[in-house]
Structure 1
Amino acid sequence: MNDSRSESYKAAGVDVTAGYEAVKLMKPMVESTFTDGVIGTLGGFGGLFKPNFKGMAEPILVSGTDGVGTKLKLAFLMDKHDTIGIDCVAMCVNDIACCGAQPLFFLDYVAVGKNKPERVAQMVAGVAEGCRQAGCALIGGETAEMPGFYPEDEYDMAGFSVGMVDRQNMIDGANLKVGDVLIGVASSGVHSNGYSLVRKTLGINEKSVRRYIDEFGKTLGEELLTPTKIYVKAIQSLVGTVDVKAISHITGGGFYENIPRMLHDGIRANIEKAAMPLPAVFDLIAKTGKIPERDMYNTFNMGAGLVLAVAAEDADRAVAAISAAGEKAYIIGECVAGEKGVDLK
């Protein structure tokens, strides 16, 4: 029996018993993500995981960390907290998957103004769902109650993940060459980047998020809270089908910042904008804010959550494999000779 309690600390704004209740509510969700490598359960001082190196000549650990950003403001306004955990997981595991790694485990960090156990449990339910989508285990985390630092109804969420790949199977762009084809994998919308611009442009408030928009078939708030796509399983399926030469996760900085990260000197990316459908939400943002097209492509994913490169002869098979994994993919350009960078036409 846990007899930990402090009336003095509670009077200062921190209720340790609320933390215990939150752990009790989230425990089944967390355990639903456990994989064969997990050792123990919640409650220890560290999350334990035993990796399986079988079949690997030179296992490499790959890590990624990120948060949800100001998309959380939408969750506060909508009082909907069960999907932003998916975003948190996605922002970490998609980065890991770009190296060809399989995420092994995830830990989250939640800081709240006031610990409301049911709300924290909703948040962690989203994290658990994201972990299930990525095939990794949620092996621990931290919930910090910080009165006076965050308003009572607000919080922040971040996390990190560790994955593993055999060095010989790493995706690092080393074999990228002129003539390779670029494939865009569809996003689910804005994902988790650029929300400071979104909120300013669309005048986000309690009233505007409840406005129904015909083009979306839902309210503005529901569209903007759509969870970030998790591409781990699609990438793993693709890796087993064709030689994937490079992958870029299109996050903050859009095309102009992220695509060059997968290129090397002497290779430039030529992309046809019209080759991939543009989700209606980006058209709304651009027209409402009169935002130049270059700024849009330098801030948002513009419908492409991933851009990857394969040999020209593998392009059709790659698109088919991605489609078989449940995602939509389009041939959107090619690698050409030139200074490392991106040209959009």
Structure 2
Amino acid sequence: MRIALGIAALLAAGTALLAQDLAQPLDTPGELVKELPGDAPRTAGGLLPLPPPPPARPELNAAIERADAAAIRKAWLRTQESEIRLLSPGDETEWTEGQEVELTWETSGPVEFVRIYYYGGRCRLGGRDRGQFEGFITEKAPNTGRFAWKMPWVDALSLGVRIAALGEDGGKLAADEGSARFRPKFMAELREKGTLIAISKTRQRLYYQRDGKLVRQHIISTAAGGYWTPIMKPGSYDGRRGAMGRVFGKSPNAWSSQYHCWMPYWMAITASGSHGIHATSPPFYHALGGPASHGCVRQHRADARVLYGMVSVGTPVYVFA
């Protein structure tokens, strides 16, 4: 009984103090609220600021008045801020030519469709820019959060991917972008083989892979008509040329006794020295990107210098058709 009376007394005292506190005017001297503008409304002896008016939403209000659920949802979505975030490709993504890849994303707000395209810088020639490539992955697709695409060949080691969020009318609401590394189809099985050189006679491109990642791409010339650049891989053997498929030796400037010319940044890819990778002369730069050599793999001098400094004797060499 005594405990109950004590609790009742405490509650009564607390109620009295609260009532006394509420009875105090809100605009007593020294209170911050006193600094409000003079035209602010007075309530309970004090000054209270008006809340900001709600934003005008005539489309939403009209839909509510009509009790149209679909229109209400659509109008409400349009009042929300639109965002889009590209999830894949991510930082470590590598796409292989011919592979069906999946792009994924997430959105918020009234995003009905997406537009996705890819772009990048073409392989440089001797360090010089050769312009850009670009193309649509899809010009307009429903906002499902994923899109499948077959990766084409691109003349680069990487590509950018940009996705735009579109409204119902096709207008752009937001955008995001990412990137992926690129691997040509003929090198699909070489990813796990560490450091190597791979050459495509079809593409007239040389790739240098270090620790499983493509780090250099060069425009080259292999054999012109009437000459031959042998197909090879580590362990290959030819009766005339001997062992093939690796860097057998290097020289900063080798002499060709057969063609009576210097071959800067020479790297032999046959044991006999019949074929190698080297720099060509400026008068022949225009032919790079097409078959033009006597059988060797020609490069721009600036590219040859870089590759020569990166490659060690013994590096595996693959030459594909």
- The question of a shared fold, defined as TM-score above 0.5 by the shorter chain, is answered with no
The normalised TM-score by structure 2 is 0.21
The normalised TM-score by structure 1 is 0.20
| Higher strand proportion (structure 1 or 2) | 2
Which has the higher relative contact order, 1 or 2, with Cα contacts under 8 A spaced 6 or more apart?
1
